[in-house]
Amino acid sequence: MAGSRIATGGRIDRSVKLTLSFDGRKLSAHPGDTLASALMADGQLVVARGFKYHRPRGIYSAGVEEPNALVQLHTGAKSEPNARATTVEAIDGLSATGQNAWPNVRFDFGAMNQLFGPFLFAGFYYKTFIGPFRGTSFWMFCEKFIRKAAGMGRATKLADPDTYEKVNGFCDVLVIGGGPAGISAALAAGRSGAKVMLVEQDMALGGSLLSAPLVDQQEAWLEGALNELQNMNNVQILTRSTVFGAYDQDVYGVVERIGDHGQVPVLSGQRYWQIRTKQAVMATGAIERPLVFGGNDKPGVMLAGAARTYVNRYGVRPGRNIVVATNNDSAYSSALDLARAGAKVTLLDARLNVPDSLLKPLDAAGIKTFQGYGVIAAKGRKQVSAAIISATDENGVATGNAETVSCDIIAISGGWSPVVHLWSQRQQKPIYNESKACFIPEEGRLETMKCAGSAIAVGDLELTISQGFLQGTAAALDAGIKGEFGELPPSPTTPFADDWAREIHPVWLFTKANGKTHGKAFIDLQHDVLHTDIALAHREGYVSVEHLKRYTTTGMATDQGKLSNMNALAGMAELQKKTIPQVGTTTFRPPFTPVTIGAIVGHGHGRHFQPTRKSPIHDWHETNGAAMNEAGAWMRPRYYPIGKELLNDAYVREAAHVRKSVGMVDVSTLGKIAVQGPDASEFLNRIYVNGWKTLQVGRIRYGIMLREDGLVMDDGATARIAEFDYFMTTTTANAAKVLASCEHLLQTAWKDLRVHVTSITDQWAAIAVAGPNSRDLLIASIQDVDLSSEALPNNHFTHAKIDGIAVRIHRMSYSGELAFEVYIPSGFGKKVWESLIKFGEKFNVQPYGTEAMGALRIEKGHVAGPELDGRTTLNDFGMDRFASRKKPFIGSVLRNRSLLVDASRPTLVGLEFDGSSGTLPGALIFEASGPTVGHGEGWVSSTTYSPALGKNIALAFLKNGPARMGDTMRAVDFVGGTSLSAKIVSHHFFDPEGERQNA
């Protein structure tokens, strides 16, 4: 047992006891604890297993950088993998289990992997499993087992019971980080009157001060600053909130954890903020760097700053006998605080010249110090039992005799790495500061992002506070705020050994005298990347740091370079005999810490996955039992079953009824665009292939438009309502595309045209009334309007009233029957539909859905979405004659490209199938006898059973189609596994002369 709760101290509420469990074992904790501090207080050293070798692992840090202590939280549907125990707040009843181990992390059969350790080098999987056999099937077979053996937690497949929400936030100054620098920056900006958001990932504000002993002066400063901030109405403070991404246009992604810590009431488990700010202050602090030596992954090896945090914040002493190894000043304060907490402490400093100001307090506390020393190896089977130490040279190579020092904790500090992730996410490269041995942001590079505190290695507490205040002031001024900033708040006395960058000696690896490590030395604890893996990558020719990262996997997963990056870069630089800046650094990308997918999704799942569009008549369809289906964003009636009727019976009945009597279909989904202005006819002339200048008011014309590349974009009918007013319809699917295209042309290429286009799809409901009795039905519904063929021939419209509602009746047919389209203001669409149903009773009118509508149009040979698929030309439909030769139009030049006018292109044909079966769209067409290879001679686009013909038919595109009329071909559906004979016929299956629609 290493860790234990000390009797007093810490920032926990000892008056309240909480009970947690880990791997079924009960833990006691207090509010303010984390799962990690509770585990440490309970003396649990082994809390996880390594990714690859399954070596035992302990708690390594006290923050988001934790590489080892990843646990599975909760059970069942709320189960959450890969939670960092160091950031999981202790709440009563919290249950956690270890992961990547069987049966548990204390005894894991997976540890047998260590026997194969010499073979599990970087690139092992690919080198071993790809190549022995041809193809990838062997690798894919092995991959399943490899993924089981290595990995992290398991995500549940149960539906997530938690709720998440998205919120938009706006501010003048976003301060990222609630440490001393961030607090003073927020203070300055807040005083000026700027709208400030202060975001801190921890549960409490204070940053590094929370890891320091409770010193009155510092506490007073923190309390005073927070009181002032909390009393400012213009300052919003978000704790438990991580700025995980920095994006263009000063947008930041933040996840706020609301329900994760047991607070009630809760609106949702997590809240995803999209914050837009004028200025940001990045006060993200720094993360302590590990030192690399043999056995540096053993439970008991941890960061010195973390050890200090456990003592001062959580009242937990990590061990009784502690070796502190460092190359900088900061570990001295850790050593002192650990000694004050009752531990026996030995400090090794890689530097030879350490000032008395650091040594004397340690000496007074009984701490033995060694200068020019380092830890060569950690000893112990499941946990640290001793450190092998030695005098070392400036490169960390042992120069003296190794000594064994008994200990249960080795606390290490290899310097600190400023957290520059967000800076890097803004496409900026940090610069290397030689004297401080770290990458820092380049001041002034980003006009809207200031950096403060340890994020730019500014120095001690006093400097941090003053520099943060100045950056907050600058940010507010740059945001255009001209208020009063007040006096710089008096800083508390600078704590002992506070400036980690002072005289740091950038040694990162400690080896034996022969330059080799004493056993496995880990660069990346999370992905089990060894020091030797870096060397291997170097030997195999990886010269780019980005390639090194991907080859060795260092800096991946939740680590994202927080701990491993600098040591990997240093290793690579040394091997390449370059400096660290010459090697460069990798690019950090969002998220800074893992983000639950649910938080990004918010409410946008299930029925809110996308918005749904409903016709003005939708409620009638639902009430009357229509089987609905999605058509793009729309919900449309597919068919109206009678009794237990299924789709195939229903649509055949509906289509047959239209041919026999009369049916009604809701076509409100058609795109409708008002094209208005003195140049409207010229505009139509340019976007459609056919001419428009002669269309009279009161008439309708069918039109086809092409894309600029000459392929067909859409078709539809347009009515001339008034001299300068056209009512254009588009297909349902292409409505938005056509409108956007029109608007684009008017705003760019044709700014001289006086035309406006306006979507009026929502203004009008539309009902197609089709069938031999359609005219009679309408005559029964309206008063005093002549609908005879003479008064209202095809492609004409008239105005009428149905039950007092003004409507417009277009004489046009999609079904091939005598048909009319009735356009009604949306608010009356349902009522007019009901009226037509009522008036149609004596004609036995029946509603029909999209399936029957499709059957009717296929019988008629009309093209629709499946034919207008962006690959087809006018000629492919046999519509080339439709295009005007007298005028240019969009696509008129490029449609003549040789490829598009090739006579052998697949063209539209009809297929009639033998027997009772039909094929499905997407089937390929092959010769009746011959091989079934390649893409065949064409493809099937639309299929149906034709009640009018009593057989299965299809529309298809076939090479040399017109020349193959009467031939028999095969339609092969590779998905359904069918091959059917079909006769090639004209695509005008039914009433090719149009006698029925012209009746």
Contacting residues toward other proteins, per CB under 8 A: 163, 165-170, 195, 265-268, 274, 276, 603-604, 607-608, 610-616, 618-619, 622, 634, 668, 674, 676-678, 722-725, 754, 756, 758, 760-764, 803-805, 825-832, 835
Q: Is 444 or 611 the residue whose CB approaches other proteins more closely?
A: 611
Find the shortest distance in angstroms from Cβ 308 to other proteins: 40
Q: How far is the CB of 168 from other proteins (least distance, A)?
A: 5
- Minimum CB–partner distance for residue 472 and other proteins (Å): 20
Please report how close the Cβ of residue 94 comes to other proteins at its closest, in angstroms.
24
User: Tokens 């279909």, residue?
Assistant: 665
- Considering the complex, state which of residue 587 and residue 826 has its C-beta at the smaller distance from other proteins: 826
- Strand, helix or coil for residue 422: helix
Nearer to other proteins, 171 or 908 (CB): 171
Identity of residue 410: I
Residue 907 makes CB contacts below 8 A (sequence gap 6+) with: 875, 876, 877, 878, 957, 958, 960, 961, 962
Question: In the bound complex, what is the minimum distance in angstroms from residue 558's beta carbon to other proteins?
Answer: 29
Q: What values do phi and psi take at 39, rounded to 5? A: -65, -45
Sequence-distant contacts of 202-206: CB under 8 A, at least 24 apart: 202/63, 202/178, 202/239, 202/240, 203/32, 203/89, 203/239, 203/240, 203/261, 204/11, 204/239, 205/178, 205/237, 205/239, 206/178, 206/179, 206/180
Comparing CB distances to other proteins, the nearer of 219 and 803 is 803
3-state secondary structure string across 929-987: CCCCCCCCCEEEEEEEEECCCCEEEEEEEEECHHHHCCCEEEEEECCCCEEEEEEEECC
Q: Are 652 and 848 in contact (CB under 8 A)?
A: no
Measured in whole angstroms, the distance separating CA 540 from the mean position of its chain's CA atoms is: 35
Least distance in angstroms from the C-beta of 787 to other proteins:
21
Our CB check for other proteins shows the closer of 110 and 616 to be 616
Residue 34 CB, shortest distance to other proteins, in Å, is 27
With a CB cutoff of 8 Å and minimum separation 6, the contacts of 776 are: 662, 843
d(CA 204, CA 202): 5
Looking up tokens 């292939």 gives 689
Minimum separation from the CB atom of position 634 to other proteins (A): 8
Report in angstroms how near the CB of residue 608 gets to other proteins at its nearest.
5
Nearest residue (CB) to other proteins, 92 versus 834:
834
Residue (70 or 665) nearer to other proteins, CB? 665
Let me know if 968 is exposed, middle or buried by CB neighbors in 10 A (0-12, 13-18, 19+).
Answer: middle
H or E element at residue 322:
strand 321-326
Comparison of 518 and 831: residue with beta carbon closer to other proteins: 831
Q: Is the dihedral of CA 538, 539, 542, 548 positive or negative?
A: negative
Q: Nearest approach, Cβ of 547 to other proteins (angstroms)? A: 38
CA 143 to chain centre: 26
CB 621, min distance to other proteins, A: 11
Pick the closer one to other proteins by CB: 651 or 833: 833
The rounded distance, in Å, linking the Cα atoms of 609 and 599 is: 14
The DSSP code for 82 is E
Distance (Å, whole) CA 912 – CA 921: 14
Pairing between strand 286-288 and 403-406?
unpaired
DSSP code at position 108 = B
- Which residue bears the tokens 């060795």? 552
Closer of 22 and 164 to other proteins (Cβ): 164
CB of 609 to other proteins, least distance (A): 10
- Scan for tokens 């005008």, then name that residue: 988
- Residue 295 identity (one-letter amino acid): G
**Residue 276 or 426 with smaller CB distance to other proteins:** 276
- Which C-beta is closer to other proteins: that of 11 or that of 614? 614
